[in-house]
Amino acid sequence: MFKRPGHKPINRRRAILSLGGVVMGASLGHFAARAVADAGKGATQTYPTAPAMPAGAKVHKISLTAKAHKRQLKPTPVAASDIFDYADDDGPLVIRMQQSEWLQATLTNQLKEHTTIHWHGIRLPAAMDGVPYLTQKPVLPGESFTYQFQPPDTGTFFFHPHCNTVEQLGRGLAGVLIIEGDETRPHDHDLVCAYRDWRIDAAGKFTPMMTEAGASKAGTFGDHRTINDQEHPVFQVPAGGDIRVRFLNLDMSRVVDLGVTGTDAWVIATDGNALPPQKLKSWRLGPAMRADLTLRTPAKPGTRIQLVNYYAAQPIVMAELEATGPVLDRPTFVPAPLKPAPIPEPVLEGAETFTLRLSASSASANLPPDFVLPDGSVLRYADALCLTPNTFWAFNGQPWPSQSHEVLPPPLVTFQKGRTYIIELINQTPHIHPIHLHGHTFKVLSSSKGDVVPHFADTTIVAPKERVKIALVADNPGDWMIHCHIIEHQETGMMGIFRVT
C-alpha cells in the first residue's frame, strides 16, 4: 500500500462485527463491552417519524444498492479500482426529478458495514436526513431503508453516507440529485460536472483515505482528479447553444476555484440556490459546494472552451466542452436568472447571534461514558464508524466524541423554531473549513475578508483568520448536524449538533 513518509494511515474501522442489531468495533476493549451491553438501549431509542406521503402524490421511485464494485478509473492496462457505488453505470449516478414530486428511494446495503444516505442540502424532515444514531438506525449489511420526502427546493444537490464517510464517499459512494423546474428560459443542454480526486495509486489501488498528517492539516489528497470519473474529459455540446453547467465538488478535501476560458460564463446558482447572474471570474468551491453556470458555446463547430481550476500553482484544465454542429441560431446571449426557491428570508433585525469558533483540538471529548442528555430523556449510542478515531478539531472547544465515548454529545446550541439566527463562524486555524449545516439553507451575509455577494448556501468556506456571518430561519424542527465538509476534519472532531425546537 502506498504511504508517504510521515503519513500514518488512520484506521477507524478495525474489524467490524454485526451483533444483535448493533455494529461494533471488535477490538475496542471497553467500547466493545459497552456496545454489547447497550445493544438493547440502542434498539429502543427513539428517532423522528418519517413524513407521510399524501394520497395521490406524484412519486419518483428509485432503488439504490450500496455495494462494492469495480470501475476502470485509470485507462487500461491499469487494473479496475475497487470502488463503492449505488449503480452499475460508469460516471456519477444522476437522479432528475420535478419539484412537485416525492422522492421514494430504497437503499439496500450490500456493503460489509452499515450505511445511510444523507441528502445534502435538501431541507427535509429530520427523519429522512440519514445520520445514523441521530435521525435513524444505521442500515446494517443486508438491510434496506426507504427514504421518502418531497424536496421543497429546485436545484443541484447530491447524496452520500454519513458515518465512515471518509471510506465510503472516498471510494465513490455518492450520487447527484437534480430538482428541476427553476429555469425561466430553457437551456439547449444541461451538463453535470462532478469533480473529485481519487486516492488511487499508479496501479489503480486505493491509498489511505485518512492519514494523521492529512487529517490534522488540509486533508489527505488523491492523485487522480476527474470530472464524472474521467480525467480531462471532452464533452460534446451544441455549437452556438445555451448551456447550463452544474458543477459539483464531490471531493473530500480538494478546494476548486472554478473558472471558464474561451467564453464568458455567469454563476446562476450556489449550492443549488438561484443567484442573480454574476459574471464569473472564479468561484471558490470547497468540498460539497456547487455552482451552476450559464454560458453560450462557440458558434464554430470544433471550438473548445475549458473548465479551469485556479486553486493550484498553475491553472488546471479539468474538462473541455467542444462545440458540435449543427449550429444553433440563438439571439444575442443574455444570462437568464433562475426562479428562486421558497427559502425563508432571514429577518436580521433583532436576530440573536451564535458564535462558532473553529479550532484545533488535541483533547478528546470530555464526556462521561454514561452521559445523559440535558432533558434526561434519551441516551443515544453511536459506534466506531460514527465516532472520531483521533481528535484534531473542535467547535467551541468541543470535539465530536471519540471512540472511547460512545454517546452522542449534547447540542452546541438550541434554536427556537421560526426565529432568525445569525451564526458567526470564526476560523482560528491555519486551514480552510467548508462548514455545512443540515436541514436548513442559510444566507451568507458577510466576511471579515471583504466583499461577499450575499447568496443562499448549505456549505460555506471559512478561510484562516476569517469571520463569516451567515443567517438562517430555524424553521425545521429536529437535531441537525453541523460539520466541516473536509471529511477528515469532520471525522476527527469538527462536527456537532444544533437543535431546533
314 burial type by CB count under 10 A (0-12 exposed, 13-18 middle, 19+ buried): exposed
Cβ atoms of residues 174 and 118 within 8 Å: no
Cα angle 472, 475, 478; round to 5: 110
**Contacting Cu ion within 76-115 (CB under 5 A):** none
Measured from the CB atom, is 122 or 484 closer to Cu ion? 484
In the complex, what is the shortest distance from the CB of residue 483 to Cu ion, in angstroms, rounded to a whole number? 8
Measured from the CB atom, is 309 or 427 closer to Cu ion? 427
- What span, in angstroms and rounded, lies between the C-alpha atoms of 10 and 460? 27
Binding letters toward Cu ion, positions 4-43, x by CB under 5 A: ----------------------------------------
Binding letters toward Cu ion, positions 142-161, x by CB under 5 A: --------------------
- What span, in angstroms and rounded, lies between the C-alpha atoms of 494 and 488? 9
Measured from the CB atom, is 92 or 222 closer to Cu ion? 222
* Residue 303 grid cell: 471550438
In 346-365, which positions are buried (b, 16+ CB within 10 angstroms) versus exposed (e)?
Answer: beeeeeeebebbbbbbeebb
Count of positions on this chain that bind Cu ion (CB under 5 A)? 4
In the complex, what is the shortest distance from the CB of residue 433 to Cu ion, in angstroms, rounded to a whole number? 3
Cβ atoms of residues 286 and 461 within 8 Å: yes
Cα angle 91, 170, 135; round to 5: 100
- Which of 433, 438, 455, 483 is close enough to bind Cu ion by CB under 5 A? 433
Measured from the CB atom, is 97 or 484 closer to Cu ion? 484
Q: How many CA atoms lie within 13 A of 4 on its CB side?
A: 17
Measured from the CB atom, is 437 or 484 closer to Cu ion? 484
Measured from the CB atom, is 468 or 486 closer to Cu ion? 486
Select the span of 95-103, 118-126, 167-175, 482-490 touching Cu ion (CB under 5 A).
Answer: 482-490
443 binds Cu ion (CB under 5 A): no
Measured from the CB atom, is 150 or 459 closer to Cu ion? 459
* Dihedral sign from CA coordinates of 77, 234, 231, 249: negative
Select the span of 91-99, 180-188, 204-212, 433-441 touching Cu ion (CB under 5 A).
Answer: 433-441
Q: How many CA atoms lie within 13 A of 185 on its CB side?
A: 13
436 binds Cu ion (CB under 5 A): no
Binding letters toward Cu ion, positions 221-260, x by CB under 5 A: ----------------------------------------
484 binds Cu ion (CB under 5 A): yes
453 burial type by CB count under 10 A (0-12 exposed, 13-18 middle, 19+ buried): exposed
| Closest C-alpha among 176, 294, 304, 299 to residue 236 | 304
- Which of 401, 489, 492, 497 is close enough to bind Cu ion by CB under 5 A? 489
Select the span of 13-21, 291-299, 401-409, 489-497 touching Cu ion (CB under 5 A).
Answer: 489-497
- Which of 291, 486, 487, 497 is close enough to bind Cu ion by CB under 5 A? 486
In the complex, what is the shortest distance from the CB of residue 286 to Cu ion, in angstroms, rounded to a whole number? 9
Select the span of 59-67, 196-204, 259-267, 478-486 touching Cu ion (CB under 5 A).
Answer: 478-486
- What span, in angstroms and rounded, lies between the C-alpha atoms of 495 and 393? 8
One-letter amino acid identity for 450? G
Binding letters toward Cu ion, positions 389-428, x by CB under 5 A: ----------------------------------------
Select the span of 191-199, 242-250, 398-406, 429-437 touching Cu ion (CB under 5 A).
Answer: 429-437
- What span, in angstroms and rounded, lies between the C-alpha atoms of 339 and 272? 11
Distance of CA 401 to the CA centre of its chain: 21
- Side by side, which strands form the sheet with 155-160? 93-98, 175-180, 155-160, 118-120
Select the span of 34-42, 67-75, 349-357, 486-494 touching Cu ion (CB under 5 A).
Answer: 486-494
In the complex, what is the shortest distance from the CB of residue 486 to Cu ion, in angstroms, rounded to a whole number? 4
Measured from the CB atom, is 385 or 435 closer to Cu ion? 435
Cβ atoms of residues 373 and 411 within 8 Å: no
- What span, in angstroms and rounded, lies between the C-alpha atoms of 212 and 202? 22
Measured from the CB atom, is 72 or 359 closer to Cu ion? 359
In the complex, what is the shortest distance from the CB of residue 167 to Cu ion, in angstroms, rounded to a whole number? 18
Q: By the criterion CB under 5 A, which residues form the site for Cu ion?
A: 433, 484, 486, 489
